[in-house]
Homo-oligomer: A and B are copies of this chain.
Amino acid sequence: MNLNLQPYKGTRDIYPEDMRLRQYIFDTWRKVVESFGYEKYDVPILEPLELYAAKTGEEIVNEQTYVFNDRGDRRVTIRPEMTPSVARMVAARRQEIPLPARLYSIANFMRYERPQKGREREFWQLNVDIFGVADTRADIEVVSIADQILREFGAGPEMYTILLNDRRLTDYIMRDYLGLTEAQASAMIKLFDRRKKISEADFDAQVAEIAPENTSETLAKIQKITEVNNLDDVPTGAPINDLQKVLATLTKKGINAKYDPTLMRGFDYYTGIVFEVFDQNPDNNRSMFGGGRYDGLVGLFGVEDLPVVGFAPGETTMIEFLRAWNLLPKLSPTTTIVIAPIGEVDVTAVADQLRAAGINVAIDFTDRKLDKVIKSAVKSGAPYLMIIGEDEITSNQFKLKNLSEETEKTLSIDQIVDIVARS
């Protein structure tokens, strides 16, 4: 029986052409976050299940984790997200770690979801977190990084909006303004979270189910604060100072940011400002990624608490955004020259000379007919081809074919190094 050619359901093999794209995304992320002083870390792919029990949210833990017992009967899970792990890292060195601690990772995660377009069971994310800053300068920095990443990819301000909300304001609206009980508030938050995905009539019907005793009053109040998404419409006394400060600063910096009272975010650990970056493409209008402040998490590890703000964009959504807006660059293979030896000629010394000058050189050792060798070189996407026989070795003069321009020059190794370095 043959082995199966398919990888595990909901996952993909990443061939070099896709890997180049991934590498481009990762390199751009890395460049931006490092420019803001973030340092890279990593954590294990496998974690004790308890790590997620506290704050990750029931749906992910109970329905989406890859969880099992190891050979020593420990209950473990493949990480479904990064936040609890990085909180642990900082908690474990709470006294020694220099503050503010700016940390980032680019890592893979797994969730058992129904595979569908743009959602895979294994996915890669950037995670960016700043530990130790209690005031809004951290929130502003983190949103600015999210914005800068999109600009670095070439996105213009018309392509995306950054929506903000505050967990404290949501709590105020649910309890003080709408006067809901804990259970009602919890249902209403879930409903707010779905608001952009359901019809208005559907929304109103569900509000009636949650608040059957004073539906029309509740609906009127909700309409008042959500109609234009303006902080001025929020009732007097609501905790909006931080949100106002962040919005004002972001606007001054030219960042397209606005308040959205229906913005909720899935994770339970958020405690303050939360945000999401929305794609403005009419064909693809949706939340791309988000983040927020989660001040209570480090303290759960039994050490003195630390304020934290973070966010986490995903690779797949980023690629879809860039593709839809036509922002993906043409990416070449890392190999620059393919050498095709004719017959038995030994070209390794030539290749080694070029490599020593910093050029990436692949030798075609397949002994196929020349037309097949050329076809393979063209298909590989490498920009140059050198066909080398005994004559070239003897004369030390080589033909360099530019495969995209379909030109050829006869050159010394030094001249080849010059030309390739300049291209």
Q: Which residues of A contact B (CB under 8 A)?
A: 2-9, 11-16, 19-20, 22-23, 34-48, 50-51, 54, 63, 66, 68-72, 74, 76, 78, 84-85, 88-89, 91-93, 98-100, 102-103, 108, 110, 112, 121-122, 132-133, 135, 137-138, 140-141, 144, 300-302, 333-335, 338, 348, 355, 358-366, 368, 376-377, 379-380, 382
Distance of A166 Cα from B171 Cα, bound (Å): 70
B residues less than 8 Å from A382 (CB atoms)? 37
In contact, B335 and A74 (Cβ under 8 angstroms): no
B residues less than 8 Å from A89 (CB atoms)? 13, 15
In contact, B360 and A37 (Cβ under 8 angstroms): yes
Residue of B nearest to A43 (CB): B13
In contact, A122 and B45 (Cβ under 8 angstroms): yes
Distance of A9 Cα from B348 Cα, bound (Å): 46
Distance of A45 Cα from B13 Cα, bound (Å): 10
Known contacts being A3-B301, A8-B46, A100-B366, is A16 close to B41, with CB within 8 Å?
A: yes
Known contacts being A3-B300, A50-B3, is A71 close to B122, with CB within 8 Å?
A: no
Seed contacts A37-B382, A102-B335, A138-B365; 15 additional CB < 8 Å A-B pairs:
A3-B84, A3-B301, A5-B92, A5-B302, A8-B44, A9-B74, A13-B43, A13-B88, A16-B40, A19-B39, A22-B42, A23-B40, A40-B334, A78-B78, A133-B365
In contact, B45 and A45 (Cβ under 8 angstroms): yes
Known contacts being A5-B88, A8-B47, A48-B8, is A71 close to B335, with CB within 8 Å?
A: no
In contact, A51 and B4 (Cβ under 8 angstroms): yes
Give the residue of B92, B100, B108 whose beta carbon is less than 8 angstroms from that of A45.
B108
In contact, B366 and A46 (Cβ under 8 angstroms): no
B residues less than 8 Å from A47 (CB atoms)? 7-8
B residues less than 8 Å from A360 (CB atoms)? 34-37
In contact, B41 and A15 (Cβ under 8 angstroms): yes
Distance of A7 Cα from B91 Cα, bound (Å): 12
Shortest Cβ gap from A88 to chain B (Å):
6
Known contacts being A44-B122, A138-B365, is A34 close to B334, with CB within 8 Å?
A: yes
Give the residue of B20, B46, B88, B91 whose beta carbon is less than 8 angstroms from that of A78.
B46
In contact, B40 and A13 (Cβ under 8 angstroms): no
Residue of B nearest to A32 (CB): B355
Distance of A91 Cα from B76 Cα, bound (Å): 33
Known contacts being A44-B12, A70-B112, is A362 close to B4, with CB within 8 Å?
A: no
B residues less than 8 Å from A144 (CB atoms)? 348
Shortest Cβ gap from A81 to chain B (Å):
15
B residues less than 8 Å from A122 (CB atoms)? 44-46
Residue of B nearest to A97 (CB): B15
Counting chain B CB atoms within 10 Å of each CB, the highest count among A22, A70, A89 belongs to A70
Give the residue of B5, B70, B141, B338 whose beta carbon is less than 8 angstroms from that of A91.
B5
Residue of B nearest to A358 (CB): B35
Distance of A8 Cα from B47 Cα, bound (Å): 5
Give me 13 A-to-B residue pairs in the complex whose CB atoms sit less than 8 angstroms apart, sorted by A's number: A3-B51, A3-B91, A4-B51, A14-B41, A20-B40, A37-B382, A38-B362, A44-B122, A45-B110, A63-B71, A68-B68, A68-B69, A71-B112
